[in-house]
Structures are given as C-alpha cells and as structure tokens.
Amino acid sequence: MKIKKFLAVFFIITIQISFAQPKVAPTNPNKSRLNYPKNYENQIPSYNAPARIDIQTAWNFIVSASFIYWQPEMVGLDLGYISSNDLTNEPDRVLNFDADYCPGFKVLLGTHYDYDNWNVNARYTRYHAKEKEKREENIILHIFSQTEAISQIETIWNTQLDYFDIEIGRPYYNGKHLILKPYISVKGGWSKQKYKLNATLSTVDQEAFYRTKTWFLGPRGALDINFLLSYDFRIFANTSISILYQKFKTQDRFISTFFPLNFTTNFRTKTIQLTPFFEMSPGIGWGSYFDHNNWHIDAVAAYNFLYLFNQNEFLSVDAVGDLMMHGLEISLRLNF
C-alpha cells in the first residue's frame, strides 16, 4: 500500500514538472524596434526570413527585359515518307519538318511590398516564328495521295504565341544559401498558327492550307529555386505548371486538280479544351547592389523548356499534336 501511495505521489509530481513552463526573462523594449505581442515569451515563433532585393529607395520597382531564342517543334508536322523498293534491306523513311531557332522577347514590370515582403510581377512574352521547308524527292503524303509520289513539296509553318503572367509570391531563405519562391499566378494569352503545303503531283499543282486561332486563360503555380554561390553568383531552376481553358477556331482548305479528283474542300470549326502547360528554366545568374544600395542589377542566362499539350488541329477536328519549344534566354533586371 505504501508503495502504491509513493508511486501515485511520484507520478503526480512528475506530470507537474513535465508540463511546467520555465520562466523567460522579459524582452527589454528599449533594445529592439519590434513590436512584440502580449505573452511573446510564451510563444514559439516560426518565420522564414525574407529574401527580397532590399534597396534603400522608396520606389521598389522592378523592370526586366529578356531576349529569347527558341526552337519550335510540333507533333504531326511530318512531310510524308519515302517508300522503299526493298523493305528487307531498307525500310521506309519518314521526312520530318526541321524547324530553326527564332528570336523573341519578354518584358516584366513588378514591385515589392513592405507588408510581409510580398512580390508582384506582370510579364509579357512574345514569340513569332516562320519556318519553311522544301524537298524535291518522291514523297508520299496522305493529304494528297495514298499511293502517288510527290515530286516536289514546299511547306510554310507560321506560329505566333503571345501570353502574359500575373504572379504574386514571397521569396524567403530556407537556409544560408538556399532561396525559395513559391507563387501563384494567372496565365492568359492567344496563339495563331498557319500551315501551308504546295505540292506537285503528276505535274499538277496541289494546295492545302490550315489555320488555327486560339485564346487561353487559367491558373498557374510555380516554384523558383536559387542556390547562392560565391561572388554574388547563383544557380537556379524555375518550374511552373498551368491548367488553361482554351478555345480554338480552325479553318481547313484543300484544293486538288489531280484527275479525276478535281475538288475543293473548305470547312471551319470551333472547339474547347483544358490544356496543361509545363515550363522549366535552369540557369545561372549574377546580381549586386550599387550606388550605396539604391540600385540592384541582375543578369541571367537560362535555357527554357516549354510543353503545351494538344495544339495541332491541322489535320483533324480534334487537337492531336503537342507544341514544344526550347532555347536560350538572356535577361537583365533592374531594381530601383
């Protein structure tokens, strides 16, 4: 009985000691400019230190200009195939549409807020490319004929992509050398594409023309990762994903004068879809303050990867081919 009483008393005392809170010396308000809340000494704060560019001037504006040099690729733009006379030793060969790199640009305007160090940016991207391909081979292209070979074919592909991003986020330190910036965004824009084919089939000219117009709008989530190096250099990887509501207007026109298929087709259609849009940009950057921390300049070299699903409506009422772009980006940003 005595042992049970002793254990009960010991258990009660142990619980009181375990849940008792130690006294903390009060903070001297004369030594700090922070406005501590009531009972601050009894709270456990959790706060990621902000990693914004903190210039001394009161404007807190951000301007940026980027030069982009991308190569577009579209699934489903094959020029046809060359039929082999000996499939055992040489299979049929597919001719792809070879696109070149084309220039474009980005511009950005943003600001930092003192309220919790939030950052708001508005970015506009413009990329217009025109590609040509000409072949003089015995090509079979099902648009014109399933069996007859084309002696000459010339194709022109115009792709125009204009879009904007309005984003809000907060960069913060996740370590001494690691800066993270998660943010939410809205992406919207429009795109125009034209695909024209001129072919000579049995000495007779054939023509096919396809045009697509589309606009899109939707939410975007992103994460910027920066790892700080020595001498103000850093490496980074920026990624984002968007889900876009997209509406297409498509026009197809086909003219054939190949005897006995002398006919013309011309139709228009409207379709809608939800389109995923992935972006990724690894690269290296350098930034530094100058003029007594009144200005900050930042230079960036990155390689962009973009993947936009289901953009090819040239040969079908439904979009069946994805649009991809990749290439170099050189940026210069100024905080003032």
CATH number at residue 85: 2.40.128
Q: Which pLDDT score, from 0 to 100, does residue 7 have? A: 46
Question: Does 164 fall in a domain?
Answer: yes
Residue with tokens 């391909």: 133
Q: Is the pTM of this model over 0.85?
A: no
List the pLDDT tens digit at each of the 336 positions of the chain: 554 455 455 545 544 444 344 444 444 444 333 444 445 455 555 678 888 888 887 688 999 999 999 999 988 887 777 766 666 666 777 777 888 999 999 999 999 888 888 999 999 999 999 988 887 777 777 667 666 777 778 888 999 999 999 999 999 999 889 999 999 999 999 999 998 888 877 777 778 888 889 999 999 999 999 999 999 999 999 999 999 999 988 877 766 655 445 555 566 778 889 999 999 999 999 999 988 888 999 999 999 999 999 898 876 656 678 999 999 999 999 999
Q: Which pLDDT score, from 0 to 100, does residue 22 have? A: 43
Alpha carbons 332 and 336: distance in angstroms, whole number: 13
Q: For 116-136, write each residue's pLDDT tens digit.
A: 889 999 999 999 999 888 877
Q: Which pLDDT score, from 0 to 100, does residue 316 have? A: 60
Q: Which pLDDT score, from 0 to 100, does residue 306 have? A: 97
Q: Which pLDDT score, from 0 to 100, does residue 243 have? A: 96
Q: Which pLDDT score, from 0 to 100, does residue 15 have? A: 42
- Judged by DSSP in three states, 171 sits in coil
User: Does residue 265 contact residue 311 with C-beta atoms inside 8 Å?
Assistant: no
Query: Which of 162, 164, 331, 330 has its CA nearest to residue 242?
Result: 164
**Domain span holding position 288:** 2-131+160-189+212-251+269-335
Task: Provide the number of structural domains found in the chain.
Answer: 1
Question: Does 201 fall in a domain?
Answer: no
Question: Does 61 fall in a domain?
Answer: yes
Q: Which pLDDT score, from 0 to 100, does residue 206 have? A: 78
Q: For 282-295, write each residue's pLDDT tens digit.
A: 999 999 998 888 89
Q: Which pLDDT score, from 0 to 100, does residue 26 have? A: 44
Beta bridge partners of 306: 279, 325
Query: Residue 160, class by beta-carbon neighbours within 10 Å (0-12 exposed, 13-18 middle, 19+ buried)?
Result: middle
DSSP string, 239-286: EEEEEEEEEEEEEEEEEEEETTEEEEEEEEEEEEEEEEEEEEEEEEEE
Question: Does 207 fall in a domain?
Answer: no
Q: Which pLDDT score, from 0 to 100, does residue 27 have? A: 43
Question: Does 264 fall in a domain?
Answer: no
DSSP string, 180-223: EEEEEEEEEEEEEEEEEEEEEETTEEEEEEEEEEEEEEEEEEEE
